A = this chain, B = another copy of it.
Amino acid sequence: MARRFTIADIAAAAGVSKGAVSYALNGRPGVSDATRARILAIAAEMGFVRNRAARSLSVASAQAVGIALRRSARTLGIEPYFMELISGIEATLSAASFGLTLQIVDSLDAELEVYRRWWAERRVDGILLCDIGVDDPRLDRVADLGLPAVAVGGPVQGARLPAVWHDDAEPCRDVLEYLHALGHRRIARVAGLPHLLHTAIRDRAYAETAAGLGFASVTTVHCDYTGEESARVTRRLLTAPGRPTAIVFDNDVMAVAGLGVAHELGIAVPGGLSIVAWDDSPLCRLTHPALTSLTRDITAYGAQCAQALLAVIGAEPERHAAVRCRPAELSPRGSTGPPRT
């Protein structure tokens, strides 16, 4: 437990003022090259690291970013999405020597309260807003706070916050065209929460494309991303008359559950039922057959979100008002094939 040194210690050792040490450490003009080198050497030798609180207090910046997640422990655990996203965010932040503060909340009010507090106490310099909804009230509320923020999802037209998002419509079209080409005509979709923006975008893209391709039927059932609900819904879809020959699921967890139901009912996959998952986590390769899915690099997406937020905060040179990322791409695997007639 070595003693913690301060710039005063370095100043004393180098025979200069604290101000000079600060300039040297921060690579700013105000000290000669020789003095700077000497100061840096002494600091390195002492194993000096700036006290965060003192620095934050001086520069009025927390050097940290916050994320509040409004999901239950179980949902957070089971959905690979979040950890992959956070992992990408974190990598970018730590490269900029920014910290990541995480909080889990259970209501919209609690979430907004967290933002208010974080900003008031300057615990964070900005936040990443996840799970963007249709007409999301948080966009305005956060903008009102003056808290720098980036929406993880979009597009959010007219919002006062920049957004980073994937185009969700194009992959929907890809999937339907693919299933159509395989010969499927009766399709169902087990969708995510209807109030989420990307669900709404997919709803519309599927509806439009389906109409264009002339499918006999495209049934959409919304549920909550859990395996339980997906299983219940899938069971109903598969036992009703005129059952679909293919089901598209809005995430990987629901797709795995759907596959389980097919097994349970003795329906062969893909012969009796084709399955497509959204979000290509390793989960999709755990099953037999492996699941055809819409692949996107969520870790890279997280990194872009963090980058955009740093830009808004002003910690990065360039600034992007909104970033549109590469759409998900279809990865065909064993769970899709021509329907057995």
Contacts and interface: CB of A to CB of B under 8 A. Distances in A.
A282 B78 contact: yes
A194 interface: no
Interface in A92-132: 94, 99-104, 116-117, 120-123
Quickly give the copy total for this chain: 2
A53 B227 contact: no
Contacts of A101: 64, 99-101
A228 B281 CA distance: 12
Contact of A77 (B62, B87, B104): B87
Interface stretch (A43-51, A195-203, A314-322): A43-51
A145 interface: yes
Nearest to A105: B94
Interface residues of A, number: 68
Nearest to A59: B53
A80 interface: yes
A51 B121 contact: yes
Interface in A211-231: 226-228, 231
Given A82-B83, A83-B82, A145-B1, A52 B62 contact: yes
A144 B154 CA distance: 48
